Every structure is written in structure tokens, then in C-alpha cells.
């Protein structure tokens, strides 16, 4: 089985005889978490649903993904409407902690997954609201970013289902290499920005920043294909139904990254 570029999916240890790794059975996944997960060479494995367990269906994946995404959208909108932008940083911290627990403990606990979604919704809502309040040119940018993110998600789902782009080992290796390159550039840009205004120019609204944001959106978009493939395989191999929460979490991490990059690119366009 191919590993996903998503840190949540790539950190799953191989189970005995293939399938999807066991969650919540006698113990044992954002920037630093992604860097850790990308060092894992294990193939994903979960094992078939045991006696008395219901097997995962695509309806489970769709329903749980819709719940997590919907919760993030609701908490984000409420944050914008309430003007509680001061919650942005605390929410990011809560979201990061929840994500690390889910990833490193390989937990399919719905409470943790929903906590992550709710917290990231507040954080993204705070960023969006603060941006919209910073100038009339940014009003409505959040709605555009949400529509753009949903559009990319649906578009890539169509691409996956029609087989226009096939998830092959070669494609997976190319995409993971692209993600690693993007991560390295982000870190280097951050470090350089401590000594030089604007860093490498990847986030300052320059033509290079436009290009970098487009590349990030492209990489995040194509990583959805690997996430879809992982979900499809989990269903075909009869993973336990609760694994749907973990798949939903993995998809949410990609959607959060995609939304941030789309919002950033829109801010560049509106600043001109």
C-alpha cells in the first residue's frame, strides 16, 4: 500500500498482514508534526474490522469529514461575527496539541478530532476576521477563501474519481518530495526573516511570493488525491468504522493548509 503525503496518514505503522494499523487498542500524528511524520517509512496498515465491529464504508468517511469540516466552518464564522480575534493564538495552540496527540498516538478518538476542527476553525476565523477588519479591500475575502477551498476539494475529488491523475508510487514520491521542498523553503524563509526584512521574499507579496503561494496551493491540492486514495483503500480493505474519524482528521489537516494558502494569495491580489 502506498503511503500518503498527509502527516496523519503517513505515520500509521504497518499492521500484521497488511491493512490499517490498530487505533485505541492497548496504547498507541502542522509544521513540526509533518516534519516528524515525513521521516516515517512504514506503510499504512489497520487490519480488518474484528468480530462485532462494523466495517468502514464510504458513507462513514463522507459523514465524518462533513461533520469535522462543518464544525470548523461554524466556529470560524462565529469567531468572525463575535470579533473574538484574540482567541486566534490560543486556538492554534489547542489545535496543534490535539493534532500532535492524534498523530503520535494514532488515535481515532472523535473528541480529539472534533477538538482539532473546532480549534482550527476559531484560529482561521480569527485570522480571516482580523484581515477583513484591516482594510476595506479585504472585506469578503474569507468567503472567497472558503469557496475556493471547497472548489479545489470538489475539483480534486472529480479528478481522483475520473482517474485523470492516477495515484501511483512515482506520483507519491514526486509529491512527497515537493512537500519536503516547500517545508524546507518555509523554514529557511522564516529563519532568514529574523535577519533580513522579508526573508527570501516568499511571503512579502512580491512576484516570488505569488509564485510560492501558487506552488503551495498546487501541492496541497494534489495531496488531497493521496488522502482520497488512502480512504478508498481503507474502505476496500474493511477497516473498522471508527477509522473514519482518523481519515476525516487527515483530510482536515490538508484543508486547513489549503485554506491558509488560498487566503494568503487572495490577500496579495487584493493588496495590489
pLDDT for position 239: 83
What would the grid cell of residue 115 be?
477538538
Residue 270 host element (H or E): helix 243-271
Domain ranges of the chain: 7-271
Q: Enter the DSSP assignment of 87.
A: G
Q: Enter the DSSP assignment of 49.
A: -
Q: Is 239 exposed, middle or buried (0-12, 13-18, 19+ CB in 10 A)?
A: buried
d(CA 84, CA 90): 11
Lowest-confidence range among 120-134, 145-159, 224-238?
Answer: 224-238
Q: Please give the model's pTM, rounded to 2 decimal places.
A: 0.80
Please list the residues that pair with 55 across neighbouring strands: 240
Which residue carries 479585504 as its cell?
A: 138
What would the grid cell of residue 121 be?
476553525
Confidence of residue 230 (pLDDT cuts 50, 70, 90): confident
Q: Enter the DSSP assignment of 55.
A: B
Distance of CA 52 to the CA centre of its chain: 32
Helix-then-strand count for the chain, H and E: 9, 0
- Average pLDDT on 12-29 reads 35
pLDDT for position 56: 86
Rounded to a whole number, what is the largest CA-CA distance in the chain? 60
* DSSP assignment string, 109-147: -HHHHHHHHHHHHHHHHHHHHHHHHT-GGGTTHHHHHHH
d(CA 197, CA 176): 30
Q: Is 240 helix (H, G, I), strand (E, B) or coil?
A: strand
Phi-psi group of 23: left, alpha or beta (phi > 0 → left; psi -120 to 50 → alpha; rest → beta): beta
* E-strand stretches of the chain: none
Q: Is 106 exposed, middle or buried (0-12, 13-18, 19+ CB in 10 A)?
A: buried
What would the grid cell of residue 14 be?
504497518
The model's pLDDT over 186-229, given as tens digits with 9 standing for 90+, comes to 899 889 888 887 778 888 888 888 999 999 999 999 999 988 98
d(CA 128, CA 78): 12
- Average pLDDT on 36-62 reads 60
What would the grid cell of residue 269 be?
491580489
- Average pLDDT on 226-236 reads 88
pLDDT for position 272: 66
The model's pLDDT over 168-187, given as tens digits with 9 standing for 90+, comes to 889 888 988 998 999 898 89
Confidence of residue 263 (pLDDT cuts 50, 70, 90): very high
Amino acid at each position: 500500500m502506498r503511503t500518503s503525503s498527509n502527516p496523519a496518514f503517513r505515520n500509521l505503522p504497518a499492521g500484521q498482514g497488511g491493512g490499517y494499523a490498530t487505533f485505541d487498542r492497548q496504547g498507541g500524528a502542522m509544521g513540526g508534526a509533518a516534519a516528524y511524520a515525513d521521516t516515517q517509512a512504514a506503510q499504512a496498515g489497520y487490519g480488518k474490522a474484528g468480530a462485532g465491529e462494523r466495517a468502514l464504508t464510504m458513507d462513514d468517511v463522507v459523514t465524518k469529514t462533513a461533520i469535522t469540516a462543518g464544525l470548523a466552518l461554524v466556529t470560524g464564522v462565529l469567531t468572525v461575527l463575535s470579533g473574538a480575534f484574540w482567541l486566534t493564538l490560543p486556538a492554534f495552540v489547542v489545535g496543534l496539541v490535539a493534532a500532535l496527540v492524534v498523530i503520535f498516538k494514532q488515535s481515532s478518538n472523535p473528541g480529539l478530532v472534533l477538538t482539532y476542527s473546532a480549534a482550527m476553525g476559531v484560529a482561521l476565523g480569527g485570522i480571516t476576521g482580523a484581515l477583513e477588519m484591516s482594510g476595506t479591500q479585504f472585506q469578503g475575502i474569507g468567503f472567497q477563501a472558503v469557496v475556493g477551498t471547497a472548489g479545489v476539494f470538489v475539483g480534486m475529488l472529480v479528478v481522483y474519481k475520473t482517474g485523470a491523475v492516477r495515484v501511483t508510487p512515482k506520483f507519491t514520491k514526486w509529491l512527497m518530495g515537493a512537500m519536503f521542498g516547500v517545508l524546507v523553503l518555509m523554514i529557511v524563509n522564516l529563519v532568514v526573516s529574523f535577519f533580513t526584512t522579508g526573508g527570501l521574499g516568499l511571503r512579502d507579496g512580491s512576484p516570488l511570493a505569488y509564485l510560492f503561494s501558487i506552488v503551495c496551493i498546487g501541492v496541497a491540492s494534489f495531496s488531497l488525491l493521496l488522502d482520497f486514495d488512502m480512504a478508498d483503500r481503507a474502505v476496500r480493505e474493511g477497516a473498522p468504522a471508527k477509522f473514519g474519524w482518523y481519515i476525516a482528521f487527515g483530510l482536515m489537516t490538508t484543508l486547513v493548509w489549503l485554506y491558509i494558502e488560498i487566503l494568503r494569495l487572495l490577500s496579495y491580489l487584493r493588496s495590489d
